[in-house]
Amino acid sequence: MNNIAYFDPLLFKCPKGTVAKGTEVSFTLEVSKDQSPKEVYLMIKDDEASDYTYEKMQKNQNKYTKTLKFEKKGHYWYNFKLVFDSFSAFVNKSYDNHSYTSCEKGEDFSQQVTEEEYVCTDSMQGGIIYQIFVDRFCKVGKVKPRTPLVLRDDWGGAIKKNTTDPILINEEVFGGNFKGITSKLDYLKELGVTVIYMCPISEAYSNHKYDTADYMSVDDMFGSEADFKELIDKAKEKGIQIVIDGVYNHTGSDSIYFNKKGRYDTVGAYQSKDSKYHKWFDFINYPDVYEAWWGIDTLPRVNGNCTEFQDYIAGDGGVIEKFMKLGVSGVRLDVVDELSNDFVNKISNKVKQFGKDKVIMGEVWEDAGTKIAYSSRRKYFVENQLNSVMNYPVKESLLNYIRSGEPYELVSTIRMLQSNYPKVVQDNLMNFLTTHDTVRFHSELETITNGNQQEADALMKLASAISYTMVGVPSIFYGDEYGMKNNDGSSRGCFDWNNYQNEIFEWYKKLAKIRQLSVMKDGDINVLFAKYGKFVYERFNDNERVIVATNMRGEDLRLRLNGEFESFITGERPTEVVLKKYDFEILIEKKQN
């Protein structure tokens, strides 16, 4: 039955992908020439409807078409029904966003309609992001300790050297600071970095700073506000933007807002029901039992519907406004799935007051386009809330390609992005191999290769080549550029400034040059071949074309080139390319003027 009809949302829907409200969309279903259905319907409904609307499709030879104008923003779901004399058939969405035909209705295709056309063409696109865990990147000058934080004097020492207690580990700091980052701006420029994304910088009593103590103050162990401003200004001189981490779902229990330890002069929510902060939090049995993020009592969860808290963060004179006025270029929203829709809208609108190209990036681990969290469909794109998300789907799919040797999941993920993410969001995605929440990618590769360092290095280069040429913006988690490994199981070790210059580092410096091509800023992506461990795709626009080929299997991949290409890796102009296991190639087409 699968040969009866075929639909590809990337080829048979125009325009493809997400559209803005008021757009006409044409759907085309291709029916086998030896089939003659009596009627063909496009079945469609919005997210709030229980029943489908049946739209009769018009026949043109063996193709059936229907054009709809979407007057309302939202998530829509559609399918196709073919009616024959004795049976009906459905054209359903397959795993990889193609179609299959069945007597039973299966999964729907998705169509998202945004409130307005996205305007975000000069944000992070075409650049390179560098993520910094401030305490572990670079230390310059003296750092003054602050109780209960313990300042270690063994930069790069083992994370669990002194304790295995996670709370105590989090209270140990190595002293990385703003001046340290400022001192390395030339180094980052050498890597082609255009955006520094910093883990939280507000005052907090941990090395990670996700337990905010005072949103309005930078942590004095990182430096003063003047030091931070100097970093912003000097980075800007080198063409580098600063994006900060916004942790607005929870605070620290040791904070001016909760004040569980009584450290602050303010009356915290834990101390009195009369505290002006009391309504920020949800207490189950006052004061010791309260809602906390993942049950961690040092991270009391904020009531996301509390308008006073929302205004404190995103209102006039609030936290976001303060840091945007200091010169940051945007905010990454920690656990954005746990923020209310209204709150995300307020944050987004506040950031956009400083320019529609300012960064509003969400931490989303799944498909951000159709995400459901806490029984609620998220509206990140349909309400134009986010113009970037962390691209966990590609990271996981890339890792699984390396593990399994098969690229099917990677292809499926790319097709999902093309269908469910607005094009400018695709171009602005944060593509990473490692973050502060994951295992170091090189350590993952060493596990996969059973400790074979040479193979792990080769795979690190292959993975970074895909990351740098995939739709979106590549992101380096500090140290990945030299193959930094886990430290005592943690990805948050100190940067080794004495031993970073190696073969992987030289590759990353070279790889930065591919980002200078215009096709890497807004070019489309198309998979050319994905079987038997081979993965070949192209990036293209009106002026440039780049072909990326990788091979994860023992059988050679042989490419015969039609046109004039230059190897980005060797500078040669081959007519044929042969790739062995773990080999890859990046080919730049030389178009005729």
Q: Look up the CATH number of the domain holding residue 585.
A: 2.60.40.1180
Three-state SS string over 221-257 comes to CCCCHHHHHHHHHHHHHCCCEEEEEECCCECCCCCCC
Residue 4 tokens read as 């009866």
Per residue in 541-572, pLDDT (tens digit) is 999 999 999 999 999 999 999 999 999 999 99
Q: How many domains does the chain have?
A: 3
Is 285 part of any domain?
Answer: yes
Q: What is the pLDDT of residues 11-37, one digit of tens each?
A: 999 999 999 999 999 999 999 999 999
CA distance 445 to 400: 11
Residue 33 falls inside a structural domain: yes
In the block, which residue shows the tokens 């990618």?
441
Beta strands (DSSP E) in 459-544 are 473-477, 524-531, 534-540
Last residue of a domain, one of 114, 145, 180: 114
**Residue 156: its pLDDT value, please?**
98
Per-residue confidence band for 592, with pLDDT thresholds at 50, 70 and 90: low
For residue 80, being part of any structural domain is answered with yes
Q: Give a yes or no: residue 386 inside a domain.
A: no
Over residues 65-74, the pLDDT tens digits come to 999 999 999 9
pLDDT one-digit tens code per residue, 358-367: 999 999 999 9
The answer to whether residue 122 is domain-embedded is: no
Residue 593 has pLDDT above 70, yes or no: no
Query: What's the pTM?
Result: 0.98
CATH code of 26's domain: 2.60.40.10
- For residue 106, tell me if it sits in a domain: yes
In this structure, the number of other CB atoms found within 10 A of the CB of residue 579 comes to 19
CB half-sphere exposure, 105, CA atoms < 13 A: 13
Determine the average pLDDT of the residues in 52-61.
97
Identify whether 518 is part of a domain: no
Contacts of 447 (CB under 8 A, 6+ apart): none
CA separation for the pair 190, 175 (Å, rounded): 24
Range of the domain at 296: 250-303
* Domain end point (choices 71, 91, 114): 114
Tell me the pairing of strands 39-46 and 74-83: antiparallel
User: What is the DSSP-derived secondary structure letter of residue 86?
Assistant: S
Whether 89 is covered by a domain: the verdict is yes
Q: Residues 335-346: pLDDT tens digits?
A: 999 999 999 999
Instruction: Output the CA–CA distances (angstroms, integers) from residue 222 to 129, 196, 325, 477, in the order listed.
Output: 21, 16, 20, 19
